[in-house]
Structure 1
């Protein structure tokens, strides 16, 4: 039995998920492990054990719960068998910090009832409590003659310790701050397009993550958006977008241009003969032959885009290095936003600033002012480089600064598999995609070229 010296809830009782399928309860008497086939079952066994201790002792138990990521949700188990998130004043007084990120209403009422066996032998079941009288009024549209008697159902948590507990016990502790932020990013990425949007990935210097950003943003948009996403390689110098998405140096844009000029592309089926699929992302490869790509100019770009935009409303464009190529005016005149690549190295950071300056000085002020800058932490730089200062300078120039952390999968320079990216990398790519999506949240912010 877990002993407590007073009626004040114990703060020494903790529950952690140490590995998939194993939960450990730590008390003054030591540790007790609960191992099962799944993490959900292990957490359920642990909470049933705690429920039995409540029934035996008759005093509340404070349980600090943690998941694999270290996220914490303090629970309070009462002698009458109710389980709730620990109230804010108790959290502040016992652990010296602010309450968890749940709203006040999440801690004001018991959120679950724990029913133990008559003998207190640890056979406990956790059930959802009945809705309270203070539940918010239903907001659904209803007929005046048919009143809505259903109470709104709160969103079920999927991430963090709240998600683990909900999957194990159906107890809904509400969404954590991390999950609410995640849901907000998803909502921004999925913002419906009011019209065609084209985004170019540009830089004055090569090898600083431009193509990687284009592929990463493309995969992110394709993963979350219901509509089709198109990414095109318009690098005249043997672009590597196909390698980073499909995994092979394929040709596509020049044969497509020739087919369009011959009047042979009149449907999506015709267009698909020159594209490749990378998951849900549609890719138009460049040309492995630099000389073939070099021949394309602004008019050629417009010819290709006139066909592509008949079938796709979100188009990402990976450009070549520099801004003086014949194709560049066609790209910049025809896009609605830009993403500028940068690194922490001196030349990588200067290239981003020079790119923004060039845009501002050549009639593309709106693109420069709304630019998203991706700062790839891929370069090994000396201690003389102040990375924080680089980020601060770029952040002051960009509408949004997205710092892509080191990632071994990205460093392999092969085809990007979103599932193999580190969670932190997937998260910042979501932030980048959401920053691009902010351009069409308000149609008046479009550069209007």
Structure 2
């Protein structure tokens, strides 16, 4: 019997006329408030994915639950076990240069001196504490945040990786990063995963409602800070992910993870549209260029014709890909905000611009601040939608 509190089903049904998703309803494995028989509540102590309830640690040293033991999947409904493949080909490992810090040494030294002699240090600590408290709020059902863009090279995967690692650092419940870009997705590379095996399409045929968190994580790539990755493919061109498989994975896994960040295909791909529809918050990345802002504004105008909560729960992230943007970011942000969407800027960072695995300790201070602020704001938006 359909669950009247199924937020994904409601959203997909509301948007059915535009994306023709009305006939594809999420399956009944979702865990919603008021339906405890479908799985443990994230806010229930002793469940497989506890959230950060009353025992919230300080922002500098968040408490972590014990990591699940290593699990080797076996005896499940799948027939063939895929071979593990390296994320970076062995022939290319020698071409990787030593990663650079996000900002020059002189700039870092000057910032350190200013923090010592300036009275703003206390205000900065206060702001960090407030942001951490927002990021550590408990959830009753898993929050899903979709990240997409209009074109490739807009920083979509970079933003998804930064969001996922930020949530994993601050939150106590497990965090999942899903790659819903199976063709040529680079999320495993950005997250520094050495190898991968199971993909989103594989898990769609395996996941069952009765599985435990330990069963599920056996098919995922473990990351630092209680985070997990579900890759979109094994790097092969031609890999496919249809909307039914995506819906099955997302509806089934949401009860295990406090926050799920989805790295989508670029619009207007069908899976990306479904991901944006079903997510409680969404991010649209765009390069901080005239072309990027113009294209994004056109998409936001289209989104204004959808139910109001879609545009209200959307944040545009303008990514600076060169040290100095070619447009006035303030005026560009005002134009985009006139549609009802939020706008934030991810500043240029030498470490991010170089590509490869993201090492948070090498990010520029301004980048870390922007990523944390973005994560907190988007999480707040997601809390407004059931």
TM-score normalised per structure 1: 0.56
Partner of residue 376, structure 1:
319
Tell me the SS of whatever aligns to 1:342.
strand
Which of 224, 241, 244 is equivalent to 1:299? 244
Contact 1:400–1:435 (CA<8 Å) still a contact in 2?
A: no
1:201: how far off? 0.4
Equivalent residue number for residue 17 of structure 2:
none
Establish whether residue 255 from structure 1 lines up as the match of residue 197 from structure 2.
Answer: no
2:297 to 344, 353, 357: 353
Q: Give yes or no for the alignment of 1:428 onto 2:378.
A: no
- Give unmatched runs, 5+ long, in structure 1: 1-65, 75-99, 102-159, 161-175
Task: Deviation per CA, 1:368-411: give whole Å up to 9, x if none.
Answer: 1221221111147785x334322332344454322111111111
Mapped partners of 1:418, 1:202: distance in 2: 22
- The answer for the alignment partner of 2:67 in structure 1 is none
Highest relative contact order (Cα 8 Å, sep 6+), 1 or 2?
2
* 1:335 is aligned to 2:285: no
1:44 alignment counterpart: none
| 2:260 equivalent to 1:279 | no
The gaps in structure 2 that reach 5 residues or longer are: 1-109
Which stretch of structure 1 is more off in the superposition, 393-402 or 240-249?
393-402
Equivalent residue pairs, number: 274
The question of whether the paired residues in 2 share the 8 Å contact of 1:201 and 1:214 is answered with: yes
Alpha-carbon shift at residue 228 of structure 1 (Å)? 1.2
Name the structure 2 match of 1:89: none
Relative distance call for 1:256 and 1:265 in structure 2 (3 A) is: farther
Cα offsets for 1:319-354 (capped at 9, x unmatched): 00112x332343233211101101221222123223
- Residue 404 of structure 1 is matched in structure 2 by 346
Equivalent pair of 2:143/2:254 in contact (CA under 8 Å): no
* 131, 138, 142: which one aligns with 1:192: 138
Q: Deviations over 1:152-191 (max 9, x none)?
A: xxxxxxxx4xxxxxxxxxxxxxxx1111111111111112
Larger of the two Rg values belongs to structure: 1
**Cα pair 1:208 1:341 within 8 Å, conserved:** yes
| Alignment-derived partner of residue 129 in structure 2 | 183
* Partner residue, 2:259: 314
- Between Structure 1 and Structure 2, the one with more strand by share is 1
User: CA RMSD of the aligned region, Å?
Assistant: 2.6
Distance in 1 separating the partners of 2:277 and 2:255: 18
Residue 318 of structure 1 and its aligned partner are, at CA, apart by 0.8
